Amino acid sequence: MAFPAGLSFGNCKEMSDGALLMNFARCLDFLYPPACALCRDPLRDGRYLCQTCRDGLPRIEIPFCVQCGGPITGFVPEDVLCSQCRGKTFAFEFARAAAQAREQTRMLMHSYKYGRQLHLYRELALLAEEAWHDPRISSQHDPPWVLVPVPLHWRRRRWRWFNQSLEIAHSLSRNRSLRCEQALRRVRCTNQQTLLNRRERLANLRGAFRLSRREKRLQTLRNQPVLLVDDVFTTGSTAEECARVLIEDGDAEKVVVLTVLRG
């Protein structure tokens, strides 16, 4: 179900961070028919990946870790924890990603985030939506999920022009008829985490997120199940800190993490 243009659902609006870029991209589509973002074959179906490339994306299938969503090789029970999650406690219930971060999916995500190819959010959101096949997500109806995107610090958003997680959450909100709330804000611009381990990442992120002023005032998440939306789940440190704030300060009933990719 798609909402009419201009309709606000929660506080994720149709005219979101990257709207100007998207309008510009639509104009270019009239002049230059789009090509597949991976193989460059011409497209005529309104998508940005051809069927062959879509089918070839490395989906995460059973078996995978029931806590972090990472794929597990070999013959193991379906309900299993990986070695990284065993014996640990988490603020979020579980994390679920649709695909693995491999060459094709990394290229897509890199083009989207750093190449300012905002139109790819639709392909990435459709990929993330495949995680709804997980009954732990699809069975939540009463009350329904509230989508909360992981925020960017304003400096990083100004440089990138848009928040990649917000655009994906916004698309999921329309496709799934779910409320989307920008309930978090990033109050500290943290160092890049690429070379840090999980413990160092958690320390780096401590205190980096707070409830948004709107959320503090309206308390929209109280006793609600929250689906925290992000682009990539790597060590889970960002998800852990966001979930902690949503539960401790926002009184959310529970937090589940939904990402496009599992790093």
Under a CB-based contact definition with an 8 Å cutoff, are residues 208 and 64 in contact? no
Structural domains in the chain, CATH included, are 61-101+132-262 (3.40.50)
Q: What is the pLDDT of residue 108?
A: 96
pLDDT at 10 over 80: no
Q: Are 37 and 120 in contact (CB under 8 A)?
A: yes
- The DSSP 8-state label assigned to residue 37 in this structure reads T
Over 60: is that where the pLDDT of 31 sits?
no
Give the helix ranges, DSSP H, for the chain.
19-31, 51-55, 103-113, 121-129, 135-138, 154-160, 164-176, 198-205, 213-218, 237-248
CA dist 158 and 154 (Å) reads 6
Task: Share the mean pLDDT of the chain.
Answer: 87
Contacts of 245 by beta carbon, 8 Å cutoff, 6+ apart: 184, 209, 210, 211
pLDDT at 22: 54
Task: Please tell me the predicted confidence (pLDDT) of residue 160.
Answer: 77
The answer to whether the beta carbons of residues 147 and 172 sit under 8 Å apart is: yes
Place of tokens 């205190």: 207
Q: How confident is the model at residue 28 (pLDDT cuts 50, 70, 90)?
A: low
Q: What angle do CA 82, 73, 38 make, to 5 degrees?
A: 105
pLDDT tens digits along 229-242: 999 999 999 999 99
pLDDT > 70 in the chain, percent: 85
Q: What pLDDT is recorded for position 93? A: 98
- Segment 31-54 shows an average pLDDT of 88
CB atoms under 10 Å from CB of 136, counted, come to 12
Q: Cα separation of 138 and 132, whole Å?
A: 5
3-class state of residue 226 by DSSP: strand
Note whether 24 and 10 are within 8 A (CB): no
Residue 55 CB coordination number (10 Å):
9
Q: How many CA atoms lie within 13 A of 203 on its CB side?
A: 5
pLDDT in tens, 43-96: 988 899 999 999 999 999 999 999 999 999 877 777 899 999 999 999 999 999
**pLDDT tens, residue by residue, 75-85:** 777 789 999 99
pTM of the full structure: 0.86
